Amino acid sequence: MSTTNAFPSSALRPRRAKQVQAGGGFRSEIQGLRTIAVLTVVLYHLWPNHLSGGFVGVDVFFVISGYLITSHMVREVAQKSTLSLAKFWARRIRRLLPASFLVILASLGAVLLWVPSTLWENTAKQTAASALYVQNWILALDSVDYSTQHDDATVVQHYWSLSVEEQFYVLWPILIVIMILFTSSKIKDIRQLHQRAFKRTLFVGLSVLGVLSLSYSIYITIASPPQAYFVTPARVWEFVAGALVALLGNQSPLRGLSGKFVSWFGVAAILTAAFMFNSQTPFPGWTAAIPVLGTVAVLLCATGRSRMDAGWWLSLKPMTFIGDLSYAIYLWHWPLLIVAPYLLGHDVGTLGKILVLILTIFLSWLTKLLIEDPLRKGRLLASLPRTYGFAAASMAVMIVLSMGLTSLANTGDSAQQLDPQGTCYGPGSLAHPNQCIPPTGVGTPNPGPASVMKQNSDLRYQACQASFDGTDLSSCDLGVEQSKATLTIAMVGDSHATAWLPALEVLAEKHGWHIKAYTKTSCPLTTAKRVLASETSHNNQENCTGWGQNLIDALAKDKTISTVFTAAFSTAYTYESPNGSKLADPATEGYEAVWKEFIAAGKKVVVFDDVPRTNGQNIPTCLASHPKDVLACALPVDKAYPAGAAITHAATKMSTSGIIRVPLRDQFCDKKLCYPQIGSVIVYRDLSHLSFDYSRALAPYIDSVLNSANSD
């Protein structure tokens, strides 16, 4: 989000913006440009299917910020031959922090009132990061952490762009001071700094920085798209683009009809990107140049008073009114949109979204009237000590509140003690339907939803699962030491295989097994090509294929491993024949080919059925949202077990050929429903992965299946 000290126009009719050297002075058309930027972002968040590229509004704000802040600093240098860093940062604090912290406080209150406790800890982490303006780096780290990729959005997630801007505001004036020192070393009179020497030095230095940043942006967008979107170095060139326009001042190379055409071309470029880009567009990278250059074109050329000029329309009162509120609109719209479904108890429809939009504008107007303008222009924060004291105190309060929210999240679970040996504990509840009523259990589960949600980041098993990248094999060792083990087993497959490790650890402790876990994110062990609809990188497919073949070869040769366990979220993928061969049914035959190779190598193969699907809902969050209605999170059997459960079908076909199949439907479902909580144990830790507790609760059942197979 862009922020400046520009005051709203009081004129009833649009007027030509004032122009001064170095791009200073108020330009009403920039408020209109802000309106385009903030509305594209807000409408994208409200109706992403209709404005799929509205996220480019953030890039428009970045360019505007680069332009305005550089204009202000260059003007100060021209007038005073110096730049006061303390005063510059104080102005930013007065302009940004009051509204920012107000919205965070209100958002935290809404979270406590209406948002499920499963989201509190992540909200607390991101709140602290937002208060310290490092939110973008937290999201960048989380974006490549598989355990956090399915986390629900928090009320402060949109502060990532504010964090990027704040980092810009901290570093940019320091860069300007360095340029001042560099230039002053070459001239005799410091008062000449506002002349050509300083501007030339600044222009060259910023151009080099911009080229480096753009190059990095293109590189990281290819190498790590999720991180690229958030990291500051990939966005610096957008600020530079605006800064270079500021250095040109009012020296636009295009005048007259050509300038009017370019101004409209700039608006069209922004809107085209907003409508045509989508989640599959590599971004930021080179594609961000379209909205960035569009913004540059408007800043350079939308300065005329003719109705043929885009600047005339951007200066209309409705445009400048929304532009004046754009910072507050950006702050308010997201938490309102996130909290609304929890408050209403259902997804927000069209009418609800319209009400969110209206409430956003109303709250933004109040914020500007009662908070932003009084604290920015009033006496309360007029002095530097007060300004910096306010910033420090506000940040400290946010950190304390974040810690408090984390503590509340971790103490919200029931103290009910459950007996793992009890008849009605976990899957035992389904095995004794007449004795265990209801099958979901009595009372609240322990551990509760918030604790189960935390299992997604458990370091014990996180290290066992390889990421998307690479084809090298790595494993983690569990159970007893291999030298003392009665036998060594391997668990292979995707993240659903990782979810069975708690159960296998129980069996390893009972029977003296050593476990070697070879699992990889979104990579079932099959010779077929798996296709994941949501995947944007072809590298993941190639890495999965290469890793799988390496693992098959390694396990077939490993004489120490006597049994291979495998599992997969096979209904999440579609399958294609591998290169060089044609399979009649790639979905099942790819799995069968792997198992046949293991059997030929003298190994037993144990295959877990697919676990039921959950219709894409986060189960702990759903249960926390419906503490008295567990069945609100249940799913009918026919939806929980759709056609195409490839690994289950393949195991059924090969169950007479040496495969030991572990059937699972009766451990999750009765004749009508598949349950999210069984015998007072939460079944899933997220959208589809078994919770540690339910996995462990199934260990006796797995043991009985193995004993039965071995006795045949």
Residue 628: CB atoms within 10 Å: 6
Predicted local distance difference test score (pLDDT) of residue 411: 74
Residue 22 near residue 247 (C-beta atoms within 8 A): yes
Is residue 1 pLDDT above 50, yes or no?
no
Determine the angle formed by the axes of helices 350-367 and 326-344, rounding to 10 degrees. 140
Is residue 259 pLDDT above 50, yes or no?
yes
| 365 phi/psi in degrees, rounded to 5 | -65, -45
Residue 222: CB atoms within 10 Å: 13
DSSP 51: S
Q: At which residue do the structure tokens 């920012």 appear?
A: 100
Q: What is the pLDDT of residues 610-648, one digit of tens each?
A: 999 998 889 999 999 998 899 999 999 999 988 778 999
Residue 36 near residue 315 (C-beta atoms within 8 A): no
Predicted local distance difference test score (pLDDT) of residue 709: 86
Cα separation, 541 vs 544, whole angstroms: 5
For residue 35, what are the contacts with CB-CB under 8 A and spacing of at least 6? 314, 319, 320, 322, 323, 326
Residue 481: CB atoms within 10 Å: 9
Is residue 68 pLDDT above 60, yes or no?
yes
| 477 phi/psi in degrees, rounded to 5 | -110, 130
Which pLDDT band, with edges at 50, 70 and 90, does 711 fall under?
Answer: confident
Higher-confidence residue: 711 or 376?
A: 376
Give the residue-averaged pLDDT of 469-473: 85
Q: Domains along the chain?
A: 24-407 (no CATH), 428-711 (3.40.50.1110)
- Secondary structure of 298-331 as H, E, C letters: HHHHCCCCCCCCHHHHHCCHHHHHHHHCHHHHHH
Cα separation, 181 vs 175, whole angstroms: 10
Give the residue-averaged pLDDT of 296-319: 87
Residue 87: CB atoms within 10 Å: 13
Cα separation, 314 vs 306, whole angstroms: 12
Residue 471: CB atoms within 10 Å: 16
Give the residue-averaged pLDDT of 329-351: 94
Determine which of 230-244, 253-267, 428-442, 588-602 has the lowest per-residue pLDDT on average: 253-267
Helix, strand, coil distribution of the chain in percent, nearest 5? 60, 10, 30
Higher-confidence residue: 190 or 155?
A: 155
The rounded percent of the chain whose pLDDT value lies above 70 is: 90
The mean pLDDT of the chain is: 88
User: Across the chain, how many H-helices and E-strands are there?
Assistant: 30, 13
**Per-position DSSP letters for 156-188, written without gaps between them:** TTTHHHHHHHHHHHHHHHHHHHHHHHHHHTT-S
Give the residue-averaged pLDDT of 662-672: 94
* C-alpha torsion sign, points 519, 524, 527, 532: negative
> Shortest CA distance to 609 belongs to which of 497, 506, 521?
497
Give the residue-averaged pLDDT of 287-312: 89
Is residue 559 pLDDT above 50, yes or no?
yes
Cα separation, 28 vs 324, whole angstroms: 10
> Shortest CA distance to 28 belongs to which of 330, 261, 373, 314?
314
> Shortest CA distance to 650 belongs to which of 526, 467, 500?
526
Predicted local distance difference test score (pLDDT) of residue 3: 37
- CB burial of residue 601 (10 Å; 0-12, 13-18, 19+): middle
Q: What is the pLDDT of residues 583-609, one digit of tens each?
A: 889 999 999 999 999 999 999 999 999
Predicted local distance difference test score (pLDDT) of residue 532: 80
For the chain, give the longest Cα–Cα distance: 97
Predicted local distance difference test score (pLDDT) of residue 449: 92
**Per-position DSSP letters for 243-302, written without gaps between them:** HHHHHHTT--S--HHHHHHHHHHHHHHHHHHHHH--TTS--STGGGHHHHHHHHHHHHH-
**Per-position DSSP letters for 287-299, written without gaps between them:** GGHHHHHHHHHHH
Is residue 180 pLDDT above 70, yes or no?
yes
Is residue 6 pLDDT above 60, yes or no?
no
Higher-confidence residue: 301 or 702?
A: 702
Predicted local distance difference test score (pLDDT) of residue 443: 80
Higher-confidence residue: 412 or 238?
A: 238
H/E run at residue 63? helix 57-80
H/E run at residue 565? strand 561-567
Determine which of 23-27, 272-276, 285-289, 326-330 has the lowest per-residue pLDDT on average: 23-27
Cα separation, 8 vs 658, whole angstroms: 77
Predicted local distance difference test score (pLDDT) of residue 494: 94
Predicted local distance difference test score (pLDDT) of residue 47: 96
* 426-437: b (≥16 Cβ within 10 Å) or e: bbbbbbeeeebe
Q: At which residue do the structure tokens 């991180």 appear?
A: 227
Residue 398 near residue 127 (C-beta atoms within 8 A): yes
Cα separation, 627 vs 467, whole angstroms: 34
